Amino acid sequence: MRVLITGATGLLGATLAPALELRGHVVVRHGRRAGDVRGDITVPDVVEQLVAGERPGAVINLAALTNVDQCESDPNAAFLQNTRIVENLANAIETRGNGCRLLQVSTDHVYDGVGPHGEEAVHLVNYYAFSKYAGERAAARISGTIVRTNFFGPSQASGQHSFSDWIVGALTRRETVRVFDDVFFSPLSMAALSGYIAHMMESGVPGTFNVGSRDGMSKAQFCFALAAALGLPTDTMHHALSTDRAHAARRPKDMRMNCDRFQERFGVQLPSLQQEIESMRSHYHAGA
């Protein structure tokens, strides 16, 4: 299939694009400043021309403003990049798409309260979450596939670092890090997530799906488990609470997702987070 990835030059795009190519798809990488095709896709005409010119069988949208505090201090930027872009894509696909599918990558940040959360338990606590959820609604209007997720693993994108890159780098340099006992999540490795996104895109099943690891853990448990898997020293890593640190945006404390809908609909058994962490041994080559 010919697949247009918008926002392909970011963190997830750099792992997803080659994974799709390995499965035999022809990938067109779009970025604002780099990529096979370029342009600011908050502008409707740019998106119309992109969809009409590239004639993709599917668009996977990764373009976003992912900095949660920046979204809070500039809600209009959050709206433009997390909502307007998806509206533009949905409109262009509807009018010029010729049967093209839309897969919108969203976030576990749309949840709050005690997890694991089912897809209906949306609870929005900041502008990042609001703008991503509004983007989901735009994708749903044209029966898109919406993937709520979170991810980690070594970045293949220049200048972009994942959460696990940050921990591995800090521990390797023996810097002091504080890791939160009161924040829970259920991410996947970017490698595994890319395979699931490909599978969802190929099947073309519409709907909203949580796609994360089978269980989840606190961020502190995750960081200590990652250090153990990679044989990194942990004497500079300290337990802390998220309330010890001031952020511009309020953040959810428990983003763990119940992924039963995805597992049942796609016949997939998701890995546990511990299994995903252990897979990092071969990805990072640290302490191995």
Q: What residues does 102 pair with on adjacent strands? A: 59
* Residue 282, SS3 per DSSP: helix
Q: Select 5 or 232, whichever has its Cβ closest to ligand NAP.
A: 5
Say which of 111, 127, 128, 284 is annotated catalytic.
Answer: 128
Angle (nearest 5°) at CA 198 between 196 and 199: 65
> Does 10 contact ligand NAP by CB under 6 A?
yes
Least gap, CB of 136 to ligand NAP (angstroms): 10
**Residue 3 to residues 158, 204, 244, 261, Cα–Cα distance (Å):** 22, 13, 44, 25
Q: Select 242 or 287, whichever has its Cβ closest to ligand NAP.
A: 242
Strand 26-31 relative to strand 2-6, pairing: parallel
Closest CA to 239 of 219, 255, 211: 219
The distance between the two most distant Cα atoms of the chain, rounded to a whole number of Å, is 57
Q: Which stretch binds ligand NAP (CB under 6 A): 31-39, 202-210, 216-224, 258-266?
A: 31-39
> Does 32 contact ligand NAP by CB under 6 A?
yes
> Does 40 contact ligand NAP by CB under 6 A?
yes
> Does 97 contact ligand NAP by CB under 6 A?
no
* Range 101-120, binding ligand NAP (CB under 6 A): 105, 107
Query: What is the per-residue binding string for ligand NAP in 11-30, x denoting contact by CB under 6 A?
Result: xxx-----------------
* Contact pick of 28, 50, 63, 192 for ligand NAP (by CB under 6 A): 63
196 counts as catalytic: no
Closest CA to 253 of 74, 66, 126: 126
**Residue 64 to residues 81, 104, 106, 256, Cα–Cα distance (Å):** 5, 10, 9, 21
Residues that bind ligand NAP (CB under 6 A): 7, 9-13, 31-33, 40-42, 62-64, 66, 81, 105, 107, 132, 149-151, 160
Q: Active-site residue numbers? A: 128
